[in-house]
A and B are shown apart, each in its own frame.
Chain A
Amino acid sequence: MKAGVDVGPTNTDAALLDDDGRVLATVKVPSRPDMPVANVRSALEKLKATDLTQVAVGLRGSATSVTRRRELRRVAVLRISGDSARAVRPLFGWPADLRDAVNAGAVIVDGGGGLERDDWTPLDRAAVSRFAAAMAGTAEAYAVVGLFSPLDAEQEQEAAELIRAEVGDMPIALSADLGSLGLLERENATILDAALSGFAQTVADGLGTLCPGAAVFVTRGDGTLMSLEHMSRHPGLSLGSGPASVLRGAGALTGLEDAVVADVGARRVRVGVLSGGFPEEAVGGARIGGVPVGFRIPGLIKVDRPVDDAELAEAVDRLQPGADRLPLVTVGGGAQAVQQGIHPEHGLAAGAIGAAVSPVGGFYERIVRLPDRAAVAAAMDAVMEEARAVAVLAGADPRQTVIIHADETQLDYLPGPFVKLRARAAGPPSRW
């Protein structure tokens, strides 16, 4: 049996499902503020579940920490890019108070790569060690970001070893694990991961001891899951995970792969789209105070309660790919306040159910120059393999991890076949 838990600001929902995904029971307990682990424990106790093999938890703590500038570690930022990219320094454009809360110091050292092998320059190892030593005592975590590191993570790993040699065991977030190109977004995301590492470790430790015998996972903003170990290294991935789980849950409860979903909360309704079983993502990804961080989060339209029917209908219509093309599913704690849409059984606990039924995910992208179109297939195979590896790293069962989406985009303004290849993989949570 498996359980899903959704820790909301007002209530914590939990659902018990059998191994075939049938909902056996749902419960609701009031949430105590800033005590995510205790809230999960209360909900699981009320669920009275025994023999749990898997627990998946949706948390909103990462977003709360960032919004309130609390429980954030001070981060030393190491960018490996040499002279390239020097025009925009790390943390440039961040809101001043968030930057002040997070920034321990930043440096740009020689190294980093490019699209081709001979674009790579060696890592300035001495500069890394000097920076790490200078930051000792000030920094509580390190963020390491290498130019083109998703293509080759070696220099980031090398730098992490050098930092550990100087300052001992310290949280070090590496950007390559995030898998996507776009230096500033990836750097901002990695800094956020490092800043949230204290909060994440506390939560991971707490959840890890909660259910002996069960594999514990947490939800992500793209509608998939990750292991506690992965979450402790990349807590930023949980931004947007609450709405993502609700969308997945609405799909699971209705059997729909494509739908518009209205999640009726205490104060507002969040309307999003389920597309091919996963949340349709916000264009441009997550932003914090105007800073792009690249994490994939659901695209949502928010409507305040009490609900004005016309306003809600307009929001739903805006998300429709064509007039009335997709069914509307209405879920969430306040679903009975909205007449429109399908109201599935157990819809009040859609977030918890979505967490319980979701797979573990991974994403990878790469830009390649190909001799001809015939080479696309082989290049895509490599990208899909990387996406599978990322999913397995996040806790997916390697034997059952499959590609759920792959696409290619021709790059603008370059002759010849330069293409960006992207793949997403997902698999059931590994049991150990």
Chain B
Amino acid sequence: MREITEDLLDDMARGAGILGTGGGGDPYVGKLLAREAIRRHGPVPLYSIDEVPADATVVPISTMGAPTVMLEKLPAGTEELAVLRALEAVIGRPATHIVPIEIGGMNSLIPIAAAAQAGLPLVDGDAMGRAFPEAQMVLPTLMGVRNTPMALADDKGNTLVVDAVSNHWAEKIARAACVRMGCQLSSADTVLRGSQLRDGLVPATLTLAEDLGRAVRLARAAHSSPVGAALAVLDGTELFAGKVVDVERRTTGGFARGTARLESSHGALELSFQNEHLLASRGGRTVATTPDLICVLDTESGEPVTTEALRYGLRVTVIGAPCDPRWRTPEGLELAGPRYFGYDCDYEPLAGRPS
């Protein structure tokens, strides 16, 4: 056990931004929420998965909706407790631990605020090992664990508990409710027992985010390469370094789809993105795909470049980092592989790595 104190949040947020693979929302807001909650309620105990008792009730808390809207409509700060209490009422037992559902973007830091407010410890891990856009894209789905009951709450105090026939249906219902309830909701779902954490979580990812953020900060201070520092922490592969020479965005069937072309004296790379960066190819050959992590970093600063911020002229480095091996199974790829996102290609393990 260790404690998350205010001074760790900057590094965690920086690392979470990189692990967001272009999406997940700006961790800045999550950082402010976590900082305010820690100032009010004190530091948050952080337990490794091994330290959590088998009969623990571990609740992932997250927000869903449009990060752009959240920048205007910040949370009231009461939603996290509201969803937690609504969920506890349905499952009939109190939560003992909080955990992030994803390690990437603002949802990495919101659970810190939730845990501080609830007076509960946090588990060092998450259910994706990265960021994904939909509620069923979690390792517990692969275990057959249901993401319902799912409690949702808005800033006005409205709550809703979803009980669905499948994890996909819960996502569809929650997304529709989200739009009607102001485009930004808090969610408590996918309850895990302590004994399920090994199969349901990727371990130590909050620590990974912190290590990543710290490595980038220290590299910058030492005038060495922040991208190199990120590569080392992520055990990643540099896929390409160059400049963005073209960005195209279009909407197909209600989904925002985009491609970006990067060029350098060593050739070109094409990046395909939706909410996150999902596919990288060179000369028609796929070099990285979801569910592996494709992180686009500003070459100079090591800051993550989001899909929304991609624009002509940016000088970036594209990194591939291996996803959790459970995503590489046929079931994992069906849930979050390139074909699920509408790309007509199969998963390719990162070059030079065992599949």
Residues in chain A within 8 A of chain B (CB atoms): 83-89, 92-93, 114-116, 119, 147-148, 181-185, 273, 280, 283, 292, 318-323, 367, 369, 373, 409-418, 420
Contact of B65 among A87, A367, A414 (CB under 8 A): A414
Question: Is A413 a contact partner of B133 (Cβ separation < 8 A)?
Answer: yes
Which B residues are CB-close (under 8 A) to A415? Answer: 175-176, 179, 254
Residue B142 lies at the interface, judged by CB distance under 8 Å to chain A: no
A-binding residues in B (CB < 8 A): 23, 25, 28-29, 32-33, 35-37, 64-69, 71-78, 113, 133, 155-157, 175-176, 178-179, 182-183, 243, 245, 249, 251, 254, 256, 263, 265, 275, 300, 307-309, 312-313, 315
Q: Flag if B72 contacts A148 (CB, 8 Å).
A: yes
- Contact (Cβ within 8 A) B175 A147: no
In the complex the two chains form, what is the Cα distance from A184 to B71 in whole Å?
7
Q: Is the interface of A mostly helix, strand, loop or mixed?
A: loop
Residues of A within 8 A of B265 (CB): 323
| Also in contact, A89 and B313, with CB within 8 A (given A147-B73, A182-B72, A417-B254) | no
- Contact call A183/B254, Cβ cutoff below 8 A: no
Of listed B182, B307, B313, residue having the most chain A CB within 10 A? B313
The answer to whether B308 and A83 touch across the interface, beta carbons within 8 angstroms, is: no
Chain A residue numbers with a CB within 8 Å of B307 are 412
Query: Which residues of A have CB within 8 Å of B313?
Result: 273, 280, 319-321
Q: Flag if B113 contacts A87 (CB, 8 Å).
A: yes
Contact A321 B245 (CB under 8 A): yes
- B36→A87 contact, CB < 8 A: yes
Select from chain B the residue with minimum beta-carbon distance to A323: B265
Question: B144 CB to closest chain A CB, in angstroms?
Answer: 26
Chain B residues within an 8 Å CB radius of A119? 182
Question: CA separation between A87 and B77, bound complex, in Å?
Answer: 4
The 8 closest A-B pairs by CB, nearest first: A87-B77, A410-B256, A85-B74, A321-B313, A84-B155, A83-B76, A182-B71, A412-B275
Chain A residue at minimal CB-CB distance from B175: A415
Residues of A within 8 A of B254 (CB): 415-417
Does A413 contact B66, Cβ atoms closer than 8 Å? yes
Contact B183 A87 (CB under 8 A): no
Give the residue among A84, A115, A367, A418 with the most B Cβ atoms within 10 A. A84
Whether B157 and A83, one on each chain, are in contact in the complex, defined by CB atoms closer than 8 angstroms, is yes
Given contacts A322-B245, A417-B254, contact A84 B76 (CB under 8 A): yes
- Kindly state the separation between the CA atoms of A416 and B275 in the bound complex, as whole angstroms: 14
A283 / chain B contacts, CB cutoff of 8 Å: 309
Q: Which residues of chain A have C-beta atoms less than 8 A from B74's C-beta?
A: 84-85, 87-88, 183-184
Contact check, B308 vs A409: say whether CB atoms are below 8 A apart: yes
B36 contact from A92, A322, A416, Cβ within 8 A: A92
B76 close to A367 (CB less than 8 A): no
A-B contact pairs, 30 of them (CB 8 A): A83-B157, A84-B75, A85-B76, A88-B32, A93-B32, A114-B73, A147-B73, A148-B72, A181-B68, A181-B71, A182-B71, A182-B72, A183-B71, A318-B315, A320-B313, A321-B245, A322-B263, A323-B265, A367-B68, A409-B249, A410-B256, A412-B66, A412-B68, A413-B23, A413-B25, A413-B66, A414-B66, A414-B175, A414-B179, A415-B254
- Closest B residue to A148 by beta carbon equals B72
- Is A181 touching B72 in the complex (CB atoms < 8 A)? yes
Interchain CB contact under 8 A, B308 and A412: yes
Residues on A with C-beta less than 8 A from B23 are: 412-413
Name which of B156, B182, B183 has the most chain A CB atoms within 10 A of its CB: B183
- Residue of chain B at shortest CB distance from A419: B251
A320 to B76, CA, bound (A): 43
A420 to B178, CA, bound (A): 18
A147: B residues at CB distance < 8 A: 72-73
- Closest residue to A183 on the B side, CB-wise? B72
Partner of A418 from the list B75, B183, B308 (CB cut-off 8 Å) is B183
Q: Give chain B nearest CB distance to A95 CB in angstroms.
A: 14
Give Cα A185 to B64, complex, Å.
22
A253 to B218, CA, bound (A): 43
- Expressed in whole angstroms, the minimum distance between the Cβ of A96 and any Cβ of chain B is 13
Residues of B within 8 A of A322 (CB): 243, 245, 263
Known contacts A322-B263, A412-B275, A417-B254: A88-B36 contact under CB 8 Å: yes
Q: Tell me the minimal C-beta distance from B249 to chain A in angstroms.
A: 7
Complex Cα distance A373/B256, Å? 12
Among residues of B, the one whose C-beta sits closest to the C-beta of A376 is B251
